[in-house]
Amino acid sequence: MGAKVTIIYCTSWGYIGRAVALADKVLSEHKNVIEELILKPSAGGVFEISVNDKEVFSKLLEDRFPGIGEAEFLIRNEIEGY
Q: What tens digit of pLDDT does each residue of 25-78 get?
A: 999 999 999 999 999 999 999 999 999 999 999 999 999 999 999 999 999 999
3-state secondary structure the chain: CCEEEEEEEECCCCCHHHHHHHHHHHHHHCCCCEEEEEEEEECCCCEEEEECCEEEEEHHHHCCCCCCCHHHHHHHHHHHCC
Q: What predicted TM-score, i.e. pTM, was given to this entire model?
A: 0.94
Q: What pLDDT is attached to residue 82?
A: 73
pLDDT beyond 90 at 17: yes
The answer to whether residue 1 scores a pLDDT higher than 90 is no
What pLDDT score was predicted for residue 58?
98
CA distances from 47 to 33, 73, 82 (A): 23, 16, 23
Which domains are delineated in the chain? 3-80 (3.40.30.10)
Residue 23 confidence (pLDDT)? 97
